[in-house]
Structure 1
Amino acid sequence: MTVPRAAAVFPGAPDQAAGVRRWFTGWLGDGHPAADAGVLLLSEVFSNACLHSRSAESGGTVDVVAEVAGRTVRVEVVDGGGGPVSLTAGDPSCDAESGRGLWLLDLLSEEWGSGPLPDGRFRVHYTVAF
């Protein structure tokens, strides 16, 4: 049985994405109906946080909070800020090597949003239904 809420802090480096995926899958459970979409979206959002924020600086971190509520899983990813103030999903070209993360977020989540926090950090959240 999944614990309703889990939180963890990870180094803000792209090479930490595999550990973030393992943490999420371990918490939610590999066979959970929201596991595939949830882990894919977390990987994309975490990678964006590492690439586009101050979290990539030495010692920077990314906070991840995940929660099951009813028939949804809600995930928040909070980085060090300093990246774009607002995010919008575009339609990536077929041969693009990047740029699909927000498009996937738009496609696979029930809802998502983002914005700066009062302390200067930046939060992206999404919900996956099951």
Structure 2
Amino acid sequence: MAGATAMRIPGTAEAIGVVREWAALVMLADGCKYVDSAVLVISELVGNAIKHTRSQRDGGRVVVRLTYPAADVVRVDVIDDGATTVPRPRYPDWDMESGRGLWMVEQVALAWGQRALPGGRRAVWADVAVTFCAA
């Protein structure tokens, strides 16, 4: 199990697939066996950061950081350029194409939350269960 690993991406929809693939490769290299839930959480949190924060502006960015705060848990931190609203899950309208991101994160993650950072930025984090292979 490694320490913290981070990737900075532009605040564009095209970057979501790149960070998803990067995160899966990092977690697998760190010895995680099942990473699908963590990759789903990363995808949803990054998508929300790009859609709902100043990260979507020209030159905007999102930072994704992976750490292991406990055995069999990966913490995903998604740091955006800030927004005027606080992220809150809502019960999804199943007829809509979007609006399920934080609801899905809440269903999959062990815990999640957000914290304000200096400069108006914000981190949304989630702890997700992963399984480590025996060496």
Q: TM-score, normalised by structure 2?
A: 0.87
- Measure, in 1, the Cα distance between the counterparts of 2:65 and 2:90: 26
Q: Give SS of 2:118's match.
A: coil
For structure 1, the 5+ residue unaligned runs are none
C-alpha displacement of 1:48: 0.6
Aligned pairs for 1:1-130 (under 5 A) are 2-29=1-28, 32-68=32-68, 69-84=70-85, 86-130=86-130
Q: Partner letter of residue 64 of structure 1?
A: V
Question: Would you say the 8 A contact 1:34–1:73 is kept in 2?
Answer: no
Q: Distance in 2 between matches of 1:83 and 1:48?
A: 13
TM-score (norm. length: structure 1):
0.90
Instruction: Tell me the CA shift for residue 54 of structure 1.
Output: 1.1
In structure 2, what is the Cα distance between the partners aligned to 1:16 and 1:60? 12
Unaligned 5+ segments in structure 2 are: 131-135
- Runs of 4+, deviation exceeding 3 Å: 30-34
SS state of the match for residue 91, structure 1? Answer: coil
Q: CA RMSD in A?
A: 1.7
Identity of aligned residues (%): 36
User: For the Cα contact (< 8 Å) 1:67–1:73, is it kept in 2?
Assistant: yes
Letter in 2 for 1:70: A
Query: SS of the residue aligned with 2:112?
Result: strand
Which digits, 9 at most, give the CA deviation of each residue in 1:68-100, with x for residues without a partner? 23120001000100241x222111122111011
Aligned length, in residue pairs: 128
